[in-house]
A and B are shown apart, each in its own frame.
Chain A
């Protein structure tokens, strides 16, 4: 089967995407597929028409690849593709939109307030900060609405740190959110066709607790899979599954959540989680006895099944 692997692109997560793509290409080749690697750029549609793949494996992260844009193009071209469809991508790429969907579906997510820069520039939103801070408490988390990884995410320990954190987050997106900080365990539930894989727990070193950068460095954060959740396991999986349904996911995805005093709270959903050597979805799959090749094969099957179901 001819598989186009879409990777790279112009997003800030280009480098991670190239690493995901390279690994997927190797796995697909070892499965015996005819692999066409495509670094996504201005000529994408032309390249796809020339290559005429049977299916596209999307290994793009961030803007362009994870937000429904490429998925929409592939729909138009009639090429089956991996991962969630357009609707789930659009809902999950924007953390604010995702949180509204989650709240509407009664999935617990930390309280938040969101702004675009126009609200500050033209509508006097700065005057509401005091109330928001009182409501959310400190420390609070400031993050750009779009984008994965930790780019632009800052903690504010007090009111004096909020403006600086907002300016930093606005460097990445025109919409940012302030979110209540949940003290507790950091968990990631990866799902394959609506079935939860073993949960991964990230355990940052104590001194790195408020340093998102540290999550990038091998050895500075420990990952445990499967996480030992005891009685909390049921509620955690339940929250992840309900998030999956609420955002209309299919194929695969990853739910990031915090397990605090008030039970699991969903932070966000990733439509195209990382697939690198060190990424969490492959780690979870492996804990479930699924090699990376098995995982890629299953993901491809799901893409073809979805296309077949539609055609049928």
Chain B
């Protein structure tokens, strides 16, 4: 019989209690369970959460994270920038700031967006505590319980709990190598319309998608923006990776195509500078922004003043593009190492995407392999990935996995992929033995770089 698990972490000591909190007695559980809001129900299973926590063991090569590499940021620059802030603006940098963020930060944001051809009105921009808060604020502003929200299948695993926490009715539209399938989206919109329903927004990561790595084609981008206009729908464009392109031609952001009427735009400094500074932003038209500002006030009053000063100092040095170019060089080499290792070590029954940028590759195994179970086996080989089910709200994606190439070096990536390939090959072999399947013919020639293998879902 399984032990039920409490979802809380071990409690930290409250600051003012004179004695230790008496522990919950077993029969108290029901009392607490009765108090939990419906929105605390989580999509990800406890078993998967527990497995994911084991991936943090130091000996594990983790391709499960989504961390950018911050090791190449020069400590001397960091020290000089922070020193300048301390010497020149100590009192201000330690003070509260405006809820919308400083004008200086918004100038940096305009520079970043201009690099992808966008030119937002500073009035339409709010600085947020990371891009994650921007997703949260959008959902908080727009979603009532039961409201339909549309996202991609698979979608950013970190967005799923946000939508769940506002009790959205989340629908997923599948993607292929050209991003979200717009025909499928239109069919879904029609189906919802016959029930008199309309989604509050369509959430998309159009460039180097998390988790699949694919990029929405220019044609689909135009269609998506057009549909939003025709049907008066909001699209939430989440673009953390747009400037991390390693090959191919840039595509216009949805925000640029639309001009900011129906597209809300989410950006972040996390992947181009540092996730530790927790700085992101949201661009929205004034009526939406008004409500978002109220929501932001309720959440945390303002974004960290200190890190906004840091970003302004960093941008004043005018080396931020060069820094991104350095990062792109590092990530390109790591991505290529992952492609190479996948070709060598994954069995022919597996397929994977070939992203032109970003941080992730999405690999899909035969239907009969559940990647949550496979993770247990992989952990015995000291290697980890994110099971695909985390990117779906409906139990699909069970045979896919997300592989990150930004936070491990090339040697670790090669070794990690070799180990995963080994456990996958063992399970494929076992299944074929059990079912008496004959070995499949040798794999076709690998596709040219830049093209994407279609991937299947259960």
- A residues near B, CB below 8 A? 10, 12-16, 18-19, 22-23, 26-27, 30, 117, 120-121, 126, 129, 148-152, 162-164, 166-172, 186, 188, 202, 212-213, 215-219, 221, 223, 225, 256, 267, 273-274, 276-280, 282-283, 286, 291-292
Contact with A along B1-44 (1 / 0, CB 8 A): 11111110010000000001001111101001100100001000
Closest beta carbon of chain B to A43's beta carbon, Å:
14
Beyond A166-B430, A274-B3: 18 further Cβ-contacts under 8 Å?
A27-B23, A30-B20, A149-B3, A152-B376, A164-B431, A166-B434, A167-B434, A170-B377, A186-B1, A215-B2, A216-B2, A217-B7, A217-B45, A225-B26, A278-B26, A279-B3, A280-B1, A280-B3
CB neighbours (8 Å) of A26 from chain B are 20, 23
- Candidate in A186, A219, A223, A283 with the most chain B CB atoms within 10 angstroms: A219
Closest beta carbon of chain B to A237's beta carbon, Å:
17
CB neighbours (8 Å) of B27 from chain A are 283, 286
Please list the 4 inter-chain residue pairs (A to B) with the smallest Cβ-Cβ separation, ordered nearest first.
A215-B2, A216-B46, A283-B26, A274-B3
- Are B370 and A217 closer than 8 Å at their CB atoms? no
Please measure, in the bound complex, the distance between the C-alpha atom of A172 and the C-alpha atom of B7, giving whole angstroms. 23
CB neighbours (8 Å) of B78 from chain A are none
Q: A164-B368, A167-B434, A172-B376 are contacts. A221–B427 as well, Cβ < 8 Å?
A: no
Q: A168-B370, A172-B373, A283-B26 are contacts. A202–B1 as well, Cβ < 8 Å?
A: yes
Which of B51-59, B181-189, B190-198, B251-259 forms contacts with chain A? B51-59
- Are A215 and B376 closer than 8 Å at their CB atoms? no
- Pair count A-B, CB < 8 A: 151
Is B277 an interface residue, CB under 8 A from the partner? no
Q: A168-B370, A217-B46 are contacts. A12–B376 as well, Cβ < 8 Å?
A: yes
Is B379 an interface residue, CB under 8 A from the partner? yes
Please measure, in the bound complex, the distance between the C-alpha atom of A306 and the C-alpha atom of B403, giving whole angstroms. 50
- Are B2 and A277 closer than 8 Å at their CB atoms? no
CB neighbours (8 Å) of B423 from chain A are 171
Closest beta carbon of chain A to B331's beta carbon, Å:
31
CB neighbours (8 Å) of A216 from chain B are 2-5, 45-47
- Are B376 and A151 closer than 8 Å at their CB atoms? yes
- Are A286 and B26 closer than 8 Å at their CB atoms? yes
CB neighbours (8 Å) of A223 from chain B are 4
Is B299 an interface residue, CB under 8 A from the partner? no
CB neighbours (8 Å) of A172 from chain B are 373, 376-377
Is B374 an interface residue, CB under 8 A from the partner? yes
Please measure, in the bound complex, the distance between the C-alpha atom of A225 and the C-alpha atom of B29, giving whole angstroms. 13
Partner of A213 from B23, B32, B41, B45 at Cβ < 8 Å: B45
- Candidate in B32, B36, B435 with the most chain A CB atoms within 10 angstroms: B435
CB neighbours (8 Å) of B6 from chain A are 19, 218, 276-278
Is B77 an interface residue, CB under 8 A from the partner? no
- Candidate in B26, B54, B436 with the most chain A CB atoms within 10 angstroms: B26
Partner of A167 from B26, B32, B41, B430 at Cβ < 8 Å: B430
CB neighbours (8 Å) of A280 from chain B are 1, 3
Q: Which residue of A lies closest to B36 (CB)?
A: A219
CB neighbours (8 Å) of A117 from chain B are 430
- Are A215 and B4 closer than 8 Å at their CB atoms? yes
- Are A15 and B53 closer than 8 Å at their CB atoms? yes
CB neighbours (8 Å) of A171 from chain B are 370, 373-374, 376-377, 423, 427
CB neighbours (8 Å) of B434 from chain A are 120, 126, 129, 162-163, 166-167
- Are B2 and A212 closer than 8 Å at their CB atoms? yes
Closest beta carbon of chain A to B381's beta carbon, Å:
11
Please measure, in the bound complex, the distance between the C-alpha atom of A15 and the C-alpha atom of B48, giving whole angstroms. 11
- Are B2 and A121 closer than 8 Å at their CB atoms? no
Please measure, in the bound complex, the distance between the C-alpha atom of A202 and the C-alpha atom of B1, giving whole angstroms. 8
Contact with A along B49-77 (1 / 0, CB 8 A): 11101100100000000000000000000
CB neighbours (8 Å) of B45 from chain A are 213, 216-217
Please measure, in the bound complex, the distance between the C-alpha atom of A279 and the C-alpha atom of B4, giving whole angstroms. 6
Q: A14-B50, A163-B435 are contacts. A121–B4 as well, Cβ < 8 Å?
A: no
Partner of A170 from B53, B427, B435 at Cβ < 8 Å: B427
Q: Which residue of A lies closest to B7 (CB)?
A: A218
Closest beta carbon of chain B to A173's beta carbon, Å:
9
Please measure, in the bound complex, the distance between the C-alpha atom of A166 and the C-alpha atom of B434, giving whole angstroms. 9
Please measure, in the bound complex, the distance between the C-alpha atom of A216 and the C-alpha atom of B372, giving whole angstroms. 15
Closest beta carbon of chain B to A9's beta carbon, Å:
11
Is B425 an interface residue, CB under 8 A from the partner? no
Closest beta carbon of chain B to A189's beta carbon, Å:
10
Contact with A along B401-417 (1 / 0, CB 8 A): 00000000000000000
CB neighbours (8 Å) of A221 from chain B are 4
Q: Which residue of A lies closest to B379 (CB)?
A: A12
Is B349 an interface residue, CB under 8 A from the partner? no
- Are A168 and B373 closer than 8 Å at their CB atoms? yes
